[in-house]
Structure 1
Amino acid sequence: MTQPLADRIRPTALEDVVGQEHLLGKGKILNRILSSGQVPNMIFYGPPGTGKTTVANIAAHLSNKKLYKLNATNASVNDIKNIIEDLDSLIAMNGVLLYLDEIQNFNKKQQQSLLEFMENGKITLIASTTENPYFYIYNAILSRATVFEFKLLEKKDIIIALKRAIEIVKQDLKDKFISYDERAIDHIAEVSNGDLRKAINAVELAVYCAQADSKDTVHVNMDIAQECTQKKASNYDKSGDSHYDILSAFQKSIRGSDPDASLHYLARLISAGDMFSICRRLLVIASEDIGLAYPTAVTIVKSCVDAALQLGLPEARIPLAQAVLVLATAPKSNSVITAIDAALRDVETKNIGDIPPHLKDAHYGGAAKLGRGINYKYPHNYENNYVEQQYLPDSLINAVYYVPGKNKMEDQIAQYRKIMKNK
């Protein structure tokens, strides 16, 4: 069976790995660790196609340990027992490096079966996961391993790898010449959404699908690239003006309570595969433009964002659309951002003075001698759980930051504050 191009292109040296500069760049922590040859227990956390398996393979080579690979999706305790049985054999005389993919699919008992051998150093574990390890991996494993986060690859890194992949394919098609349009490679890199494996698979498909001309030249053009990625090219550059223009129109449409326009710009962002910008902007809008007019909006949006990130595209479009419609049809208020920005301006530009003594911490011996906490009035001892006393520093005693917006929820807040103070 022909080995997939994504495997044939897999680097065997750190300097050939694209991306992950924050970990693998010269002088960076993971580069230093692997170059030392003393490989510790590690957990690689990040999206698919970002180099986790590649780096694990290189780590095993540099450590001079016997490499075993398991996928927790279909592995069992028996698979681990089989590895353990090899620990005292000649093939594992230098120890074992176990690469465990998708470790979040192992239950507690399966994960704990590794602990004894991690402790005595007979097994070095490199586990990978696309899920947050602090939610899915048990503390006993986490306390014995270092977590490294792999990030989505940048387009420029994917382009480098794609051109390397084409050079390898040329060796398969010795009787043909391969050429390509830069725009086609750029398009495949863009729509891969940071997933190198996805991009390489698309290039491999494009090369083998392209028809050779009379001169036995296989040319990968934009039409082939679009066909093999099943994505329509769009005028969208994550670092260019169109990126910020679409995000601006997206937020302003939601702020303007136009659900149709909001969905249109969401569709543009989804088409470009820009999940990160969508999720980040929705969370901002929930507090900046809706805020206290509908306080539970941020909770709903957070749930929709979490669901979208777990599902991935194309299914992610559904909870994302739900979040957009909730925000676009919700009552609006900017009182939250106005209030915090006003408070920050005073902190950054004014002499804010000292905290009133009666508000300072008084939970230690000698606090009273320093005047801490004296004359503090505990609001719950008073009617309506409220008592008039000074909270702001003397220099800001008359400052007002929060002004309730004109909406049903904040009208109730204003009315409650009035009743509370008047008793």
Structure 2
Amino acid sequence: MARESMGSLFDEPDQPEDIEPAADAPLAERMRPRTFEEYVGQSNLIGEGTLLTRAVGRGGKLPSLILWGPPGTGKTTLGRLIARASGVKFIALSAVFAGVREVRAAIDEAVKIRRRGGRVILFIDEIHRFNKAQQDALLPAVEDGTVTLIGATTENPSFEVNAALLSRARVLTLNPLTENDVAAILRRALADADRGLASLRPHLADEDLEHLARSAGGDARVALTALESAVQGAEPGPDGARRVDREILIEALGRARFAYDKGGEEHYNLASALIKSLRNSDANAALYWLARLIEGGADPIFIARRLCILASEDVGLADPQAIVQAAAAAQIVQLIGLPEGLYPLTQATIYLARAPKSAAVKNAYFAAAADAAATAREPVPLHLRNAVTRLMKSVGYGEGYRYVHNDPKAKDEMTCLPDGLVGKVYVEPEGPSYD
């Protein structure tokens, strides 16, 4: 849904340097919001009373910012809108192509503008790709106010941005767009005759548009690129309308991504297939289902959680290192994300498939849980209770307790179960097998 009007705070100054995208520019570029009213999503950042609401404007003091979020969530657009709403010059660099020389040239330009009484926002896309020397080159200009830095990154800035630069900036986190957000963006593109696709007279069923919005994984750029390809690929009918059906959308977006529905039944079907293949020690099938999940856009943290559960539920004490492998994969994926995170996920998947299997941990717990439910009123034996007051000691709390470090025989001679469960076995003593 489009952003509600935010009043004079975001009144836009004349920006003669702003250039409208070319008519043949990609749809995602043509539909880039020109005002905060057109901006969709990230209400946590530009809602009432937020940092940007207070700081953006002619009289506001905008700090340097690091915009951290997944692709296609509006980082570059937000940087441009901030510059326009603040009435300052916007200089953009991409860390993919720029080096120290380009950074210094941008700063030199900013110095000239500042001497004329102006202000400059230096926007650096994919700032995590700058090495230490390139990031260090920014420090003096950021520190003395020559530029207000806005860096955009898909990587955790705590690990990818120099501490010195990070300490001079505020980190703002952008969330993946919701399905409703993406659907609203797609509908706007279909209805816009000037910048969008309305002149091509596209017809798209609501359920297909909503499925496309889900399949985009919160990335507006992916959704708009697929929509444009699908509409352009549809043949005009006798009435000039282009009817976009499910097959055209699948071809435009990619069958794996479109078929995968993270909110629907197929998500759970694929996850179930992965777990059952691992349980059956079929490494090849497990890798296939893992790839289906990853290539379809599944949340890697969801996959990592499932691997952690299986490592204890289905491997457990048969190979205690299995849970270490799964936990390490989960931690690494949390740290680095995709695409690199697919390697630790793959490693853990292969390890778990090859590991010996045992349900002893699960069986032991649920056997104990069943007895716990059946004997919920069974009192704790007196010798296992702490005698923390004289009264407790006088009535027998702690009496008969044997400290095993000083009395090794206590291990075999002192029971720790309620009287009605003495001798109960939930897990067999340690041995060569836990199956």
- Structure 2, unpaired ranges of 5+: 1-21, 389-403, 408-414, 419-424
Residues 28 and 224 of structure 2 are in contact (CA less than 8 Å); yes or no, is this contact kept in structure 1? yes
Match of 1:8 among 19, 22, 30: 30
Are positions 1:130 and 2:154 aligned together? yes
Match of 2:307 among 260, 277, 282: 282
How much has 1:87 moved relative to structure 2? 2.9
Q: Distance in 2 between matches of 1:17 and 1:334?
A: 51
Counterparts of 1:105-124 in structure 2, within 5 Å, are 105-124=129-148
Q: Distance in 2 between matches of 1:152 and 1:354?
A: 51
- The 10-residue stretch of structure 1 (332-341 or 42-51) with the greater mean CA deviation from structure 2: 332-341
Q: Distance in 2 between matches of 1:337 and 1:58?
A: 54
How much has 1:399 moved relative to structure 2? 8.3
Cα distance, 1:245–1:30 mapped onto 2, change above 3 Å: farther
Match of 1:40 among 43, 53, 63: 63
Question: What TM-score comes out, normalization by structure 1 length?
Answer: 0.72
Match of 1:269 among 293, 298, 313: 293
Q: Distance in 2 between matches of 1:57 and 1:355?
A: 68
Match of 2:72? Answer: 49
Q: Distance in 2 between matches of 1:177 and 1:88?
A: 49
How much has 1:19 moved relative to structure 2? 2.5
Q: Distance in 1 between matches of 2:362 and 2:162?
A: 38
Match of 1:141? Answer: 165
Match of 2:92? Answer: 69
Residues 189 and 195 of structure 2 are in contact (CA less than 8 Å); yes or no, is this contact kept in structure 1? no
Cα distance, 1:231–1:331 mapped onto 2, change above 3 Å: same
How much has 1:236 moved relative to structure 2? 5.3
Q: Distance in 2 between matches of 1:304 and 1:260?
A: 19
Q: Residues 342-380 of structure 1, C-alpha deviation per residue, up to 9 Å, x if partnerless? A: 99x9xxx99999999xxxxxxxxxxxxxxxxxxxxxxxx
Q: Distance in 1 between matches of 2:249 and 2:170?
A: 39
Q: Distance in 1 between matches of 2:27 and 2:142?
A: 34
SS in structure 1 of the partner of residue 255 of structure 2: coil
Q: Distance in 1 between matches of 2:291 and 2:101?
A: 47
Question: What TM-score comes out, normalization by structure 2 length?
Answer: 0.70
Q: Distance in 2 between matches of 1:239 and 1:285?
A: 22
Aligned residue pair count: 372
Cα distance, 1:30–1:388 mapped onto 2, change above 3 Å: farther
SS in structure 2 of the partner of residue 44 of structure 1: strand
Aligned-residue CA RMSD (Å): 4.3
Cα distance, 1:399–1:39 mapped onto 2, change above 3 Å: farther
Cα distance, 1:84–1:316 mapped onto 2, change above 3 Å: closer
Q: Distance in 1 between matches of 2:66 and 2:387?
A: 44
Residues 177 and 218 of structure 2 are in contact (CA less than 8 Å); yes or no, is this contact kept in structure 1? yes
How much has 1:317 moved relative to structure 2? 6.4
Counterparts of 1:329-408 in structure 2, within 5 Å, are 329-332=354-357, 387=405
Q: Distance in 2 between matches of 1:355 and 1:5?
A: 74
How much has 1:52 moved relative to structure 2? 0.7
Match of 2:249 among 225, 239, 258: 225
Cα distance, 1:156–1:263 mapped onto 2, change above 3 Å: same
Q: Distance in 2 between matches of 1:294 and 1:54?
A: 50
